[in-house]
Amino acid sequence: MVMHMEPGKRLTVAVAGASGYAGGEVLRVLLNHPHVEIGALTGASNAGTRLGELQPHLLPLADRVLQPTTTDVLAGHDVVFLALPHGASAAVAAELGDDVLVVDLGADHRLLDPAAWERFYGSEHAGTWPYGLPELPLAGGGRLRDRLAGTRRIAVPGCYPTSVSLALAPGFAAGLLEPTDVVVVAASGTSGAGKALKPHLLGSEVMGSMSPYGVGGGHRHTPEIEQNLALAGGTGVSVSFTPTLAPMSRGILATCTARLAAGVSAADVRGAWARAYADEPFVHLLPEGQWPSTAQVHGGNSCVLQLAVDEHAGRVVVVSAIDNLVKGTAGGAVQSVNAALGLPEDTGLSAVGVAP
Amino acid sequence: MVMHMEPGKRLTVAVAGASGYAGGEVLRVLLNHPHVEIGALTGASNAGTRLGELQPHLLPLADRVLQPTTTDVLAGHDVVFLALPHGASAAVAAELGDDVLVVDLGADHRLLDPAAWERFYGSEHAGTWPYGLPELPLAGGGRLRDRLAGTRRIAVPGCYPTSVSLALAPGFAAGLLEPTDVVVVAASGTSGAGKALKPHLLGSEVMGSMSPYGVGGGHRHTPEIEQNLALAGGTGVSVSFTPTLAPMSRGILATCTARLAAGVSAADVRGAWARAYADEPFVHLLPEGQWPSTAQVHGGNSCVLQLAVDEHAGRVVVVSAIDNLVKGTAGGAVQSVNAALGLPEDTGLSAVGVAP
Amino acid sequence: MVMHMEPGKRLTVAVAGASGYAGGEVLRVLLNHPHVEIGALTGASNAGTRLGELQPHLLPLADRVLQPTTTDVLAGHDVVFLALPHGASAAVAAELGDDVLVVDLGADHRLLDPAAWERFYGSEHAGTWPYGLPELPLAGGGRLRDRLAGTRRIAVPGCYPTSVSLALAPGFAAGLLEPTDVVVVAASGTSGAGKALKPHLLGSEVMGSMSPYGVGGGHRHTPEIEQNLALAGGTGVSVSFTPTLAPMSRGILATCTARLAAGVSAADVRGAWARAYADEPFVHLLPEGQWPSTAQVHGGNSCVLQLAVDEHAGRVVVVSAIDNLVKGTAGGAVQSVNAALGLPEDTGLSAVGVAP
Amino acid sequence: MVMHMEPGKRLTVAVAGASGYAGGEVLRVLLNHPHVEIGALTGASNAGTRLGELQPHLLPLADRVLQPTTTDVLAGHDVVFLALPHGASAAVAAELGDDVLVVDLGADHRLLDPAAWERFYGSEHAGTWPYGLPELPLAGGGRLRDRLAGTRRIAVPGCYPTSVSLALAPGFAAGLLEPTDVVVVAASGTSGAGKALKPHLLGSEVMGSMSPYGVGGGHRHTPEIEQNLALAGGTGVSVSFTPTLAPMSRGILATCTARLAAGVSAADVRGAWARAYADEPFVHLLPEGQWPSTAQVHGGNSCVLQLAVDEHAGRVVVVSAIDNLVKGTAGGAVQSVNAALGLPEDTGLSAVGVAP
C-alpha cells in the first residue's frame, strides 16, 4: 500500500537531534512546508534547553524546549527525522514501527554491501533502506525515486555522495565514461563536519585556510559514491576521492573527472547530461560557459552542474555545487519524504539561493 | 481610497535595476510571495543580458532577459520597485502615474528636510514619500505603518537607519534617553556597498579586514537616523554615527548607546523595549543574556535586539542585527508593500535565518 | 641596576603555554629576533606533544617537544614568557627569582587598583607589575617606557586596552577631551578569544557573522582602559566599552569617541595626535583622508590611527587598528622586553603587515 | 662570469608594477632582506601616487611616490623586478642590458616551447629565460638551481606550477608514476587573480563561495606544469588541471594525483619524496598523518607536502600548500635572485607562517 497524503491533512513531524546542524536545517526547511506541523524536538545532552539558545536563527521555534530522545517522545508522529550518531537509528526505527515514516540523516542504512560498511565504519551493518536521491538515473532505466514511493524508511545520502553522484551518473548511465581512474576532489564548508568541538574547526583555524582530510581512499563516503555510480551503470567503478575543508560555512564544490570512453565526442557528453536532468527541478546544467559556485546554491535545494571535455587529457571534468545542508542533507531528505508520500517532490522546497 | 488586494488577484511587479544586489534581493523575496507575478526586469548597461548571468542564484528566473529601464517597459504593472542611482526615481515615478505603487529603494524620498538632503546629497530634493519602516513607534502614539495604508509611493529606509532606528526608538518613545551624545557604531557586510567595482571592495581586500568609512558625521544615513529618532520622540537628537565594513557578504550589527535620563532603571528600560515590539513579527527582543548575531538573521526579514544598562557609564547599550539586504532593503520594502495593499504584513516574508 | 644586553650575547628565552595563540605568536616573533635563542617550551595537557602538531606554521620549531610547566623547566633562562591561565603567574614568577625577566601575557598584574581587580576577576589581586605599553604618554610628561628600563617583571597589556589607549591617550594628555561619555566599540578577530573549544567560536558560527559580547560594562578590559586613560591625564574618565567578534582570525578595529572640551578645534586635535606619535616607530597617524584597516597591520607590530572631528555631535572619533596577537600581545611584549633590556625597541620587530 | 655579491655591498633594487599584489609582495619580502636597498618603484596609471595609498601595509615605504615605468627610471639598479602585463617584459629587459639582473614575475619567458606559448597566450613567444624553481629535481640529476647561478634573467614560475610541480616531481624523478591520467585540482586565494576590478572578484561574491575556472585544459598554467614534470622525468606527461577560487585572500592548496607504476609500494613513495626534499629549507614533507593547510604557510616562503597511497584506486595523492604570493611569486623570486647572486638561498626569507 502506498501511503499518500490526504488532502488538507497536516503531517506531524518530530526531529531527533534538533540541536545539531542537520537537525536544525531540517527544521528550517520544514518551517516552509505547507503540510507539516512541527512536533517533538529532541536532543541528548541538550534536552531541557530552549531551542532559541541552540538554533537562534529559527525564531518561530525559539521557545520550544528539547525533550530527551526516547521512543515515547517520538511516537505518534507521522514522520520522524533522525539526526543521531552512527549506530543509533536502527533501534529507534524498530520501536517506532512500520506506520511511521522514519528518515535517517545518518549513514547507517545507506550502503548495500555489509562488507563495505564494516570496512569503513568498523561495526555491524544495520541493514539497507531505500536511498533518498530521487534524481539518480539507474542503469536499467528509471530513477531512484521509483523506489521511494510509499516507503516508510529513507536513508538520506551523504552530502559528498549527493554532489558527486549527480555530477557523474549521467555519463555512466549513457556509457560514456571509463570506470577506472575516476578522480574527485571536493571542497566542503565547515558545517559538513558538524557542531563537534574540535580544534581544527575553530574559526581562527578555518578562516583563510584550506586543508584536506580523509586522503588516500579512507573517507567513508567513497564506497557510497561508488555504489551510486555502479547503480547508474558504472560497473566496477573505482574512485579516488579527496575531500577538503574550505573557509565557508556551507557548500560543496565537487570537481569530478573521468576518462572518456573511446570515440565519445563533446556533443555526446553535453547531450547526455542535458537529457538526464532536463525535467528535474533541482538539478541544473548551466548554459555553456557559465560555471557553478556554491554561493548560488546557498540555502537552496539545487544542484548546479557544468562540464567541459579536455581533449588533451582525454577526460571530462564535471563540477557540481550544492548546499551541503540543503540538497546534501535536509532539503534532499524532505524531497524524498515528499516522494514517499506522493506529494509533488518540490513541496515546501526552493531552488533559489541566498546570494550574495 | 485605500487600495486593497482583491481576493485571488495576483499583482504584477516590475523591478528596475534587477542586476544589482538590491534588485536581486527584491526578486528573491518576491519569488516566495503568493500574490505576485514577476513581470518586467530592467537594467542599464545590462539590458539584453540573461538574468542567469547576473543573478545566478535566482534559478527560476535564469532565462529572463533584462530590458532597458524605460517607462514603456515599466508601465502596466501594479507595483514597480526602483533600484536606481540617486536622483533617477522621481522622474520615473511621475511618468508611471498614481495608479502604480512605486517603491523607491534609493534615498531620494526619505528625508523630510530639504536642507538636510541638499547638505548630504548635494542636489535638489525630490520630495518626501511615506517612509517604509512600519514598526517605528511615533511620538504621539501609533506607528509609521499607519501612514503606509493605501499609499502609492514608498521610500524604503536605508539599511543602517533601519537597524539603528528600531534599536533606539523605544527608548525615545518612552522618554528614557537623553537626546545628546547618542553614539552608534555599526558593522556592515560588503553587499551594503553594492556591486560597484571599487578596489577596496575586492575580496582580497575585505576578507580578514575591518575598516571604517564615512567617519565624523559625513555618512548620508546620519540625518535619516536622526529624523527617525525625532519622529519617535527624540526631540533635538544628535547622533555620532560610524559605519564600518566587515568581512562578510551580508548583515549589519549596530551597537547603539545613549545616556539614560535621570532616574531611569534597568527595569524601565527592558520594559519599554519589550512592550514596543511585543506584537511585532519581525522585531525580536531576545531573552536576557542572549545577544544577537548577524548569522541568525542571514536571509530572513528579522531585526533581533538585545540591550544592557551600563550603570558605571550611565548608558544603555542596544545591539541590533539585521540582514541589510532583507529587513534592511528588500524584505522591508515588501513588508511595506503588504502594508500599503492591506495584506498581512508578513505575506511572503520569513523571520527565519539561514544559519550556520 | 639596569640590566642591559651585552654585545654579542644571546638571550635564552622560555615560553610557558606555547600551545596557545599567545604563546605561539611569541615564538613567531622571537624567531625573527637577532639576540634570542629559544629554550624550553612548556604546556599543560599538551606536554609531550611535538610543537609541529600544535603550531604547524612554526616550521623551524616543528620537532620541539613541549615540557610540563614547572619552575625546574623554566629556570635558567634569561627571559620567561608566561601565557598561562589567570592566577598562575605570580607563583611561577616568585620561584624564578629576580634575575629572570618574567613577562606575563595574562591579566594578573595589569591593574593598579586591587578593588577593580577583585570586582572584575573575582579573586585576590596578585600585585602590579610595570605595564608594557611603552608609547603611552603620561599626564606629568614622559611615557610608560620610562618605567620599563631595567625591570624584571612586565605585565603585557590586554589587546583591546592597547588599541583603545593608544587611540585616545593623546587627547587626554593634551586636555582636549571630556572624561565622561567616552564610548568605544571594538571589533576583534576570533584569535582574541584563544583556542578554547567553545561552540560560538566554531568556524561555522563565526564566518559571515558579527556579534557582541561583554556588553554593558562587564568586559574585564574596561578598568584597564580607564586606568591607562587616567595615567595619560583623563582624571575621572569613564568608558562605555562594547567588544564585538568579527569574522576574521586576527585584528582589532577600535572606534573610540569622546566629547571635545569647549573651544577645541579640529586643528588642535590633529596637532595633538601628530605630535604624540611623531617619533614612534610602531604608532602611525595616517595622512588625512586615509583610514586604517586591520588588514594593513596583519602580522605586523603597528598601531595605525586616523581621526575626525564631528562638529555636529561635538565629538572626536578616533579609529585604531592593530593585530591583536602582535602589537596587542606578542609584539608588544617583545617591544617591552627590548625596552627593559636596553635594546632598541624595534629589535626583531617589523612594522610591516602581510596584505592582502 | 658568475655575478656574486661582494661582502658588505648592498644591492639596489627597482620594482616595476609596485601597485599590484605581486609587486607589493616583492617589496614586503625585500624589506626584510639584509643586502637590499629599495630604489625606484614604478606604476602605470598609478604613477605619481604615494605608495601608502596603494599598499598601506608597507608602512616604511608609505611616502614613496610611484614613478612611470620607463627604462630611464629602472636603469642603474642592480636588480629589477618586473610585475608587468603579459608581453611587456622582453622590451624592458632588452633596454636594461646584461649587467642588470632582470626578474620577470609574469609569464612571458617561462615556456620552452614557442608553440605551447602561442597556443595558450595567443601571441609571439618572447624567448625563454632560466626558470626560477630552484628545488625542482631534473631527470638527469641536479636541480633547476644549477641553471640559476650567475644568470641575469629569471623567469619566475606561476603560482600553480610551483605548488603542483614540487608536489609531483619527486615521483617522476624516481620513476614511480605513470605519465598519463595525472589529475590536479587546486584551490587558490583571490589574490592570485590580481587587483583587477572584475565582478566575480568582489568580496560580496567570493566570501562564502567556491567556484572553478579555466576548466577543461584551458588554464595557461597547464603547459607550464607539464613542462616542469617532463624536466623532472615525466616524459609525455599529460595533466588534467582544474583551478578553483576559494574564499581566502592567499594560499594555494593543490591536490595532485597520479597512477602508480606497477609494483610501486607505499614505502617507495614516501622514501622518494623524503629524499627529494631532505635538504631543502623551503619544501617540507610533513610527518605521516599530518596534512598541510594554507594557513600554516600564510606569509611564509614554504611549500608543505603530504601524501597518501590509495591502493584501491592505484594512485598516489599528494597535497601541497603554498602562499601564492610568497613561495608562489615574490618569495620564490627572491630565492632565485639569491641563487643567481651566490647568496645563501634563504637570505631574507622566512619559512614561518603567520597563523592563525
Contact yes or no for A190 and C203 at CB 8 A? yes
Q: Is D44 within 8 Å of D73 (Cβ atoms)? A: no
Measured between CB atoms, which of C213, C249, C253 is closest to B211? Answer: C253
| CA-based nearest residue in chain A for residue C250 | A204
Dist. CA B171–CA B317, nearest whole Å: 11
Q: Which residues of C touch D352 (CB under 8 A)?
A: 28, 31-32, 57-60
pLDDT of residue B5: 67
Q: Which residues of A are known to be catalytic? A: 159
pLDDT of residue B9: 82
Q: Which residues of D are known to be catalytic? A: 159
pLDDT of residue A154: 98
Task: Supply C136's cell numbers.
Answer: 603611552
Mean pLDDT of chain B: 96
Measured between CB atoms, which of A202, A212, A247 is closest to D247? Answer: A247
SS (H, E, C) chain A: CCCCCCCCCCEEEEEECCCCHHHHHHHHHHCCCCCEEEEEEEECCCCCCEHHHHCCCCHHHCCCECEECCHHHHCCCCEEEECCCCCCHHHHHHHHCCCCEEEECCCCCCCCCHHHHHHHHCCCCCCCCCECCCCCECCCCCEHHHHCCCCCEEECCCHHHHHHHHHHHHHHHCCCECCCCEEEEEEECHHHHCCCCCHHHEHHHHCCCCEECCCCCCCCHHHHHHHHHHHHCCCCCCEEEEEEECCCCCCEEEEEEEEECCCCCHHHHHHHHHHHHCCCCCEEECCCCCCCCHHHHCCCCCEEEEEEEECCCCEEEEEEEECCCHHHHHHHHHHHHHHHHCCCCCCCCCCCCCCC
Position A9 confidence tier, pLDDT thresholds 50, 70, 90: confident
Q: Which residues of A touch D291 (CB under 8 A)?
A: 211-213, 215
B103 forms bridges with which residues in the sheet? B81, B154
Q: Which position has the grid cell 534547553? A: A49
Dist. CA A147–CA A141, nearest whole Å: 12
Mean pLDDT of chain A: 96
Contact yes or no for B204 and D208 at CB 8 A? no
CA angle B211/B212/B217 to nearest 5° reads: 180
pLDDT of residue D260: 98
The four Cα atoms A347, A349, A351, A356 give a dihedral, to 10 degrees, of 160
DSSP string across C126-159? -----B--TT-B-TTSSBGGGGTTT-SEEEPPPH
Residues A106 and A146 in one domain: yes
Contact yes or no for D216 and A310 at CB 8 A? yes
Contact yes or no for C207 and A249 at CB 8 A? yes
Assigned domain for D215 exists: yes
Dist. CA D153–CA B132, nearest whole Å: 64
pLDDT of residue D7: 64
Q: Is B215 within 8 Å of C317 (Cβ atoms)? A: yes
Chain D contact partners (≥3 CB pairs within 8 A): A, B, C
DSSP type of residue C215: T
CA distance B160 to chain C (A): 15
Position B293 confidence tier, pLDDT thresholds 50, 70, 90: very high
Contact yes or no for D354 and C52 at CB 8 A? no
Residues C170 and C251 in one domain: yes
Higher pLDDT, A31 or D6: A31
| CA-based nearest residue in chain D for residue A353 | D209
CA distance C243 to chain D (A): 20
Measured between CB atoms, which of C197, C199, C208 is closest to A249? Answer: C208
- The SS3 assignment for D82 reads strand
Per-residue pLDDT at A27 exceeds 60: yes
Contact yes or no for C291 and B257 at CB 8 A? no
pLDDT of residue B80: 98
Contact yes or no for A350 and B250 at CB 8 A? no
| CA-based nearest residue in chain C for residue A249 | C204
Dist. CA A245–CA B248, nearest whole Å: 19
DSSP type of residue D329: I
- In this prediction, what percent of chain D has a pLDDT beyond 70? 98
Measured between CB atoms, which of D211, D239, D306 is closest to A253? Answer: D211
| CA-based nearest residue in chain D for residue A295 | D209
Chain B contact partners (≥3 CB pairs within 8 A): A, C, D
Model pTM score? 0.97
Residues C185 and C237 in one domain: yes
Residues D318 and D250 in one domain: yes
- The SS3 assignment for D177 reads strand
pLDDT of residue D218: 87
Assigned domain for A68 exists: yes
Half-sphere exposure of C307 (CA within 13 A, CB side): 29
Q: Which residues of A touch D181 (CB under 8 A)?
A: 181, 259, 313, 315
CA distance D250 to chain B (A): 8
Assigned domain for C78 exists: yes
Q: What is the CATH number of the domain that holds A311?
A: 3.30.360.10
Residues in chain C with pLDDT values less than 70: 1-7
Q: Which residues of A touch D180 (CB under 8 A)?
A: 314
Contact yes or no for C210 and B246 at CB 8 A? yes
The alpha carbon of A236 is separated from its chain's Cα centroid by a whole number of angstroms, namely 23
- Burial degree of D351 (CB within 10 A; 0-12, 13-18, 19+): buried
Per-residue pLDDT at A1 exceeds 60: no
Q: Is A87 within 8 Å of A104 (Cβ atoms)? A: no
Assigned domain for C346 exists: no
- Return the axis-axis angle of helices C331-341 and C21-30, rounded to nearest 10°: 50
Contact yes or no for C195 and A190 at CB 8 A? no
| CA-based nearest residue in chain B for residue A284 | B59
Q: Which of A57, A191, A202 to mutate to test the interface with B (most CBs of B within 10 A)?
A: A57
Q: Is A80 within 8 Å of A14 (Cβ atoms)? A: yes
Dist. CA A280–CA D71, nearest whole Å: 61
Measured between CB atoms, which of A193, A195, A248 is closest to C207? Answer: A248
In which domain, by residue range, is B72 found? Answer: 11-157+328-341
CA distance C206 to chain A (A): 6
Contact yes or no for B249 and C208 at CB 8 A? yes
CA distance B301 to chain C (A): 16
Per-residue pLDDT at A2 exceeds 60: no
- The SS3 assignment for C245 reads strand
CA distance B246 to chain D (A): 10
Amino acid at D355: A
- Return the axis-axis angle of helices A114-121 and A221-232, rounded to nearest 10°: 160
- Taking the CA atoms of C104, C110, C114 and C116 in sequence, report the sign of the dihedral they define: negative
Measured between CB atoms, which of D21, D191, D351 is closest to C59? Answer: D351
Interface of chain C toward chain A, CB-CB under 8 angstroms: 21, 189-191, 193, 195, 197-199, 201-208, 247-249
The greatest distance separating any two alpha carbons of chain A, rounded to the nearest whole angstrom, comes to 63
Residues D277 and D302 in one domain: yes
Span D178-209, pLDDT tens digits = 999 999 999 999 999 999 999 999 999 999 99
Residues A153 and A202 in one domain: no
The four Cα atoms A327, A333, A336, A337 give a dihedral, to 10 degrees, of -140
CA distance B237 to chain A (A): 32
Assigned domain for A316 exists: yes
Chain C contact partners (≥3 CB pairs within 8 A): A, B, D
Residues A86 and A27 in one domain: yes
Span D315-344, pLDDT tens digits = 999 999 999 999 999 999 999 999 999 999
DSSP type of residue C41: E
Assigned domain for D4 exists: no
Contact yes or no for A211 and D242 at CB 8 A? no
Counting runs of H as helices and runs of E as strands, what totals does chain B give? Answer: 10, 13
Position A271 confidence tier, pLDDT thresholds 50, 70, 90: very high
Nearest alpha-carbon partner for B25 in B345, B347, B334: B334
Counting runs of H as helices and runs of E as strands, what totals does chain C give? Answer: 10, 13
D321 forms bridges with which residues in the sheet? D253, D304
Per-residue pLDDT at A69 exceeds 70: yes
B186 forms bridges with which residues in the sheet? B243, B254
Q: Which residues of B are known to be catalytic? A: 159
Q: Which residues of C touch B306 (CB under 8 A)?
A: 215
Dist. CA A36–CA A12, nearest whole Å: 6
Residues A48 and A140 in one domain: yes
Assigned domain for C1 exists: no
Q: Which residues of A touch B296 (CB under 8 A)?
A: 56-57, 59
| CA-based nearest residue in chain C for residue D206 | C208
Residues C180 and C71 in one domain: no
Measured between CB atoms, which of B208, B213, B253 is closest to C210? Answer: B253
CA distance D257 to chain B (A): 29
How many Cβ pairs closer than 8 A exist between chain B and C? Answer: 181
Chain A contact partners (≥3 CB pairs within 8 A): B, C, D
Conformation bin of residue C5: beta by default, left when phi > 0, alpha when psi is -120 to 50: beta
CA distance A20 to chain B (A): 10
Mean pLDDT of chain D: 96
The alpha carbon of B140 is separated from its chain's Cα centroid by a whole number of angstroms, namely 23
Residues B146 and B172 in one domain: no
A244 forms bridges with which residues in the sheet? A187, A212
Q: Which position has the grid cell 532539503? A: A331
Measured between CB atoms, which of C207, C240, C298 is closest to B257? Answer: C240
| CA-based nearest residue in chain C for residue A199 | C197
Nearest alpha-carbon partner for A322 in B25, B353, B250, D209: D209
Residues D166 and D312 in one domain: yes
Contact yes or no for D208 and B249 at CB 8 A? yes
Q: How many domains does chain B have?
A: 2
pLDDT of residue B2: 41
pLDDT of residue C114: 95
Q: What percent of chain C is helix, strand and coil (3-state, nearest 5)? A: 30, 20, 45
Q: What is the CATH number of the domain that holds A112?
A: 3.40.50.720
Residues D197 and D118 in one domain: no
Span D225-273, pLDDT tens digits = 999 999 999 999 999 999 999 999 999 999 999 999 999 999 999 999 9
- The SS3 assignment for B291 reads coil
Assigned domain for A353 exists: no
Dist. CA D295–CA D292, nearest whole Å: 9
Q: Which residues of B touch C189 (CB under 8 A)?
A: 208
pLDDT of residue D1: 34
Contact yes or no for D310 and A181 at CB 8 A? no
pLDDT of residue D200: 96
